[in-house]
Structure 1
Amino acid sequence: MAPAPPSWRPLTPADLPAVLALAAAMHPGYPESPAVFADRLALAPGFCRVLPGPEAPLGYAIAHPWAGPAPPALDTVLGALPPRPDRLHLHDIVLAPAARGTGQARAVVAALLQAAAAAGLAGASLLALPGKAGYWAGLGFAPDPLPPGPALASYGAGALPMARRLSRGGP
């Protein structure tokens, strides 16, 4: 009998060193400090997940409630969430090569969007890295005009702001 596929669980502070190692391996062009990961986990633990693997995480998802015309710039410690967030910002979703093509990204996005809708958030946003907009479009996200500024510039040329609406009953 084959072992059951791994399932996403809440991220904990003990997971952060391994998650940081995965982030460095998968996103070398988008470095973020350990403080950023700790900040997001402290502010929005219900929207931070890890996909455990036999020896190291196979993936992680970092998201948080947000408001305003633009998401935070890359490698920015928030310190606090907006008092009246209106959307869930998907800050980073990463899968190790061994977990790609297994439906795990789709599963965690669906879970995060459902939790956001249950929390009364009206939408979700993200900055798609170059070449990833088609994937996000398949999950209901569409390009979302964002004025030039530090958030967009921090992700480099080709990053595309995207957003989608959520319904109260779920994604």
Structure 2
Amino acid sequence: MPAEPYRWRPLAPADLDALMAVAAVVHPTFPERRETFADKLALAPDCNFALEGEGGTVAGYAVALPWRAGEVVALDAVYGALPAPCDVLYIHDIALLPAARGRALAGEAVALLVATARRRALAQLALTAVYGAEAVWARHGFREISSPHLRAKLALYGDGARYMVRMTEA
């Protein structure tokens, strides 16, 4: 199925209410406050994208920020500043409303984020896979990294959470 009428564009502060509506549908078990997304957008505006659908509606989003390898971005956290040094682009979330799925739009979002990481001279992307989605992320070039240090940090995402990385040249 073609991607039309959808297109990825930079996320804007005016999109945050629509982003929250998408998050409520896609991630009801991982609720986050609007302020957490506003913080990520303020810290790294070039790393956040909205999926625009018909009539300019927001049908999905991709939220990422520069971070430290081996560190997990906490759920519902406001940071106020990026850690130093940042050596990965951490994908906090890619979420699509059901009507936008099955159109290769998640793959487009990954490609946007890979390009963003390259522009920022970050050699890796990282994420926390939830809902048993590690096989989906593996198809996009991500591989699981496991360590006792990470297990403790992943606990806030639930039992099945997995930390995964991908090189920007993968």
| TM-score, scaled to structure 1 | 0.91
Alignment of 1:1-171 (within 5 A): 4-54=4-54, 56-146=57-147, 147=149, 148-149=151-152, 151-167=153-169
Match for 2:75: what amino acid? L
Greater mean alpha carbon deviation, residues 12-21 or residues 60-69: 60-69
* Shift in CA distance, 143/57, structure 1 to aligned 2, threshold 3 Å: same
Q: Secondary structure at the match of 1:58?
A: strand
Report SS of the residue matched to 2:111. Answer: helix
CA distance in 2, matches of 1:14, 1:127: 27
- The 3 A distance-change label for structure 1 pair 25 and 4 is closer
SS in 1 for 2:39: helix
Unaligned residue ranges in structure 1 (runs of 5+): none
SS for the counterpart of 1:94 is strand
Query: Aligned-pair distance for 1:97?
Result: 0.5
Q: What count of residue pairs does the alignment treat as equivalent?
A: 166
Give the Cα–Cα distance (whole angstroms) in 2 for the partners of residues 85 and 153 of structure 1. 23
Counterpart Cα distance in 2 of 1:123 and 1:3: 27
- Structure (1 or 2) with the greater helix fraction: 2
CA-CA distance at 1:133 after TM superposition: 0.5
Contact 1:128–1:159 (CA<8 Å) still a contact in 2? yes
Q: Which amino acid aligns with 1:142?
A: R
- Letter aligned with residue 11 of structure 1: L
Structure 1 residue 4: Cα displacement: 4.2
Report deviation, 1:59: 0.6
Cα contact 2:3–2:103 (8 A) shared by 1:
no
Q: Which runs of 4+ in 1 moved over 3 A?
A: none
**TM-score, scaled to structure 2:** 0.91
Q: CA deviation at 1:69?
A: 2.8
Q: CA deviation at 1:109?
A: 0.8
Partners of 2:139 and 2:32 in 1: how far apart? 27
Post-superposition CA distance 1:17-43 (Å, at most 9, x none)? 011011011100001111100000000
Contact (CA 8 Å) 1:130, 1:160: kept in 2 or not? no
Shift of 1:3: 10
